[in-house]
Chains A and B, each alone.
Chain A
Amino acid sequence: MRAVITVVGKDMVGILAAVSAACAEQNVNVAEVSQSILQDMFCMIMLVDVSACKMPLAAFSDYMRELGQKRALQIHVMHEDVFEAMHSI
């Protein structure tokens, strides 16, 4: 099972490190990362494998959101199927 994590916020040192560390802590494998910076806004999309995640996906979603709140970032975790359903026939 895979999920997409999106991270949006003001660019600062250590965002990628913090998000990937949080993933590693929950045994979530990062499969792909795409990152861009628009002026000083940081925007990252990560595709992760949550099959072996230590907690259920709903709890992981809360966990990541709280991490985002601590660093003034918007972190959103969504099941990959949502994008598959919406954007492919």
Chain B
Amino acid sequence: MIYRLRKIRIAGEIPPMQNTRNILETIQMIQQENLDIRTITMGISLLDCCAEDIGRSCDKIYEKITRLAEKLVVTGEAISKEYGIPIINKRIAVTPVAMLLASSGGDPIRYAKTLERAAQAVGVNFLGGYSALVHKGFAAGDEALIRSIPEALSVTEHVCSSVNIGSTKAGIHMDAVRLMGHIIKQAALLTQANNCMGAAKLVVFCNAPEDNPFMAGAFHGAGEPDCVINVGVSGPGVVRSALQKIPEGDLSDVADTVKKTAFKITRMGQLVATEAAKRLGVPFGIVDLSLAPTPAVGDSVAHILEEMGLESCGAYGTTAALALLNDAVKKGGTMASSHVGGLSGAFIPVTEDAGMVAAVRCGSLSLEKLEAMTAVCSVGLDMIVVPGDTSQEILAAILADEAAIGMVNNKTTAVRLIPAIGKGVGEELNFGGLLGAGPVMHVNTASPAKFIARGGRIPAPIHSLRN
């Protein structure tokens, strides 16, 4: 029985304390349900670092990043302590490097090494933006940068890379898709000794957002301000435990509960974002509402779907449950933040989600089901380990399928496939940390080689003509 021994109120004008239940709920979310701010990401424009000489360009990049992000990590840690909220990652996103390479020329690896040096100097967890936007074709610098990605990811530790190969407005650039099939394979080959980690730091997008704070796909778009703070929240554990309290509720109750929980989670993200922006003297950009899982027990999106009543993630009903979850997260989160952006929805990375990994191991979750799920959630085929002997044409064809889903549905799709070199179905890759571990999944080996070899562009869909 709970009883109060004493309740003392000092007289005066001090407003009353929040009610005890609210306070305990917040503490429980943080201590037991893994609620955290996943990332504070500083977006930095490198457009003014562009010089005709690559050496000069690199010096300016290093100077600008280390100047603007000098206090990013300490500020993040101070906010984390004062507010009592864990902030897991501090990251940087920069202008797609291909834009700088266009005017400087030279060996793009020098940019990768400069970014790595800058990332280490300021102590961030990841730095994204070794990227190219080629959804309609290759401009100067684009192809050279893309071809350097495997080496860049093998000689750096913190640099992340992304390539946008399609959009609803432009269609899908199939020459780039074909090239990316090859690049993914090479990225895995060059980092074979390190669990093929190169491929885990490379994302292929359709409709890439310019303000996404999440890695590996973060970059600082050309329309963004000089410097900006974007924040990504997390909290699958909180949503799941809220649903545990309504085992008999119908799906309207489920959606309402998710909405209310997403509101609370996002309010915390908004608070941290505005505070970080204020302290760093940088404008606040957006809060990304994504439910991002981690390999930790109790921090899984798959377990939310199972809490809704599925025996295992991947069972029929999974796509419907995910559609409900994704929509309710957005509805709750939008109200809680002044500016929403990035990917904003539910993430379904396989190796980063203990429930997804379990579902793959028990045979309930297949690559085909995951593809269907990507049509209704915020990203695409994410952190999926495929057999090391998967051909580059098949990898390219998987990219094309995902890009088609993104293009037709006006949504972002991001693909992060890791060919496990030297391993087959059922064996495991273990990346450690937030990237997790997972089994190699079965891939349909019927050949799409001729289709991929055609190249060219898939035209934009009719509903891209909205003017």
Known interface pairs A33-B7, A82-B84. Does A45 touch B268 (Cβ–Cβ under 8 Å)? no
Contact partner, B81, options A32, A62, A83, Cβ 8 Å = A62
**A7 CB to closest chain B CB, in angstroms?**
11
When the two chains form their complex, are residues B26 and A58 in contact, meaning their CB atoms are under 8 A apart? no
- The distance in angstroms between the C-alpha atoms of A49 and B22, with both chains bound, is 19
Residue numbers in A under 8 Å from B16 (CB-CB): 32
Residue of B nearest to A2 (CB): B14
B9 at interface, CB cutoff 8 A = yes
When the two chains form their complex, are residues B14 and A31 in contact, meaning their CB atoms are under 8 A apart? yes
Q: Mark A17-42, 1 if CB is under 8 A from B, else 0.
A: 00000000000001111111110000
Most chain B CB within 10 A, of A76, A80, A81, A83, is at A83
When the two chains form their complex, are residues B84 and A79 in contact, meaning their CB atoms are under 8 A apart? yes
When the two chains form their complex, are residues B17 and A32 in contact, meaning their CB atoms are under 8 A apart? yes
When the two chains form their complex, are residues B10 and A78 in contact, meaning their CB atoms are under 8 A apart? no
Residue of B nearest to A46 (CB): B17
When the two chains form their complex, are residues B23 and A6 in contact, meaning their CB atoms are under 8 A apart? yes
Contact partner, B83, options A33, A49, A78, Cβ 8 Å = A78
A85 at interface, CB cutoff 8 A = yes
Q: Mark B1-45, 1 if CB is under 8 A from A, else 0.
A: 111111111100010111010111111000100000000000000
Known interface pairs A32-B17, A82-B84, A83-B22. Does A76 touch B6 (Cβ–Cβ under 8 Å)? no
How many chain A residues touch B (CB < 8 A): the figure is 33
A70 at interface, CB cutoff 8 A = no
Residue of B nearest to A35 (CB): B5
How many chain B residues touch A (CB < 8 A): the figure is 34
When the two chains form their complex, are residues A31 and B10 in contact, meaning their CB atoms are under 8 A apart? yes
Residue numbers in A under 8 Å from B2 (CB-CB): 36-38
- The distance in angstroms between the C-alpha atoms of A57 and B31, with both chains bound, is 20
Known interface pairs A31-B14, A45-B17. Does A58 touch B82 (Cβ–Cβ under 8 Å)? yes
B302 at interface, CB cutoff 8 A = no
Contact partner, A82, options B3, B17, B20, B83, Cβ 8 Å = B83
**A24 CB to closest chain B CB, in angstroms?**
14
- The distance in angstroms between the C-alpha atoms of A31 and B10, with both chains bound, is 6
- The distance in angstroms between the C-alpha atoms of A43 and B3, with both chains bound, is 11
Residue of B nearest to A47 (CB): B17
Contact partner, B6, options A33, A43, A74, Cβ 8 Å = A33
- The distance in angstroms between the C-alpha atoms of A56 and B82, with both chains bound, is 9
Known interface pairs A32-B16, A34-B17, A62-B81. Does A83 touch B26 (Cβ–Cβ under 8 Å)? yes
- The distance in angstroms between the C-alpha atoms of A22 and B26, with both chains bound, is 24
A77 at interface, CB cutoff 8 A = yes
**A43 CB to closest chain B CB, in angstroms?**
8
Residue of B nearest to A84 (CB): B18
A4 at interface, CB cutoff 8 A = yes
Residue numbers in B under 8 Å from A13 (CB-CB): none
**A4 CB to closest chain B CB, in angstroms?**
6
Residue numbers in A under 8 Å from B201 (CB-CB): none
In chain A, residues 47-89, which have Cβ atoms closer than 8 Å to a Cβ of chain B? Answer: 47, 49, 56-58, 61-62, 74, 76-87
B270 at interface, CB cutoff 8 A = yes
Residue numbers in A under 8 Å from B81 (CB-CB): 57-58, 61-62
Known interface pairs A33-B7, A82-B268, A87-B264. Does A61 touch B20 (Cβ–Cβ under 8 Å)? no
Known interface pairs A35-B4, A36-B3, A87-B18. Does A79 touch B82 (Cβ–Cβ under 8 Å)? yes
Residue numbers in B under 8 Å from A57 (CB-CB): 81-82
- The distance in angstroms between the C-alpha atoms of A83 and B22, with both chains bound, is 7
Residue numbers in B under 8 Å from A49 (CB-CB): 14
Residue numbers in B under 8 Å from A78 (CB-CB): 26-27, 83-85
Most chain B CB within 10 A, of A49, A83, A86, is at A86
Residue of A nearest to B270 (CB): A85
- The distance in angstroms between the C-alpha atoms of A36 and B3, with both chains bound, is 6
Residue numbers in A under 8 Å from B271 (CB-CB): 81-82, 85
Known interface pairs A31-B10, A33-B8. Does A86 touch B82 (Cβ–Cβ under 8 Å)? no
When the two chains form their complex, are residues A45 and B23 in contact, meaning their CB atoms are under 8 A apart? yes
B78 at interface, CB cutoff 8 A = yes
Knowing that A34-B20, A80-B18, A82-B268 touch, tell me 16 more A-B residue pairs with CB under 8 angstroms: A4-B17, A30-B10, A32-B10, A35-B6, A36-B4, A36-B5, A45-B20, A58-B78, A58-B82, A76-B84, A77-B84, A78-B26, A78-B85, A79-B84, A85-B268, A86-B26
- B interface residues with partner A (beta carbon < 8 Å): 1-10, 14, 16-18, 20, 22-27, 31, 77-78, 81-85, 264, 267-268, 270-271
A-B contact pairs, 12 of them (CB 8 A): A31-B10, A34-B7, A36-B4, A36-B5, A45-B17, A45-B24, A56-B78, A58-B81, A76-B31, A82-B84, A86-B22, A87-B26
* 8 A-B pairs closest in CB distance: A78-B84, A58-B81, A87-B22, A57-B82, A85-B271, A47-B17, A83-B18, A85-B267
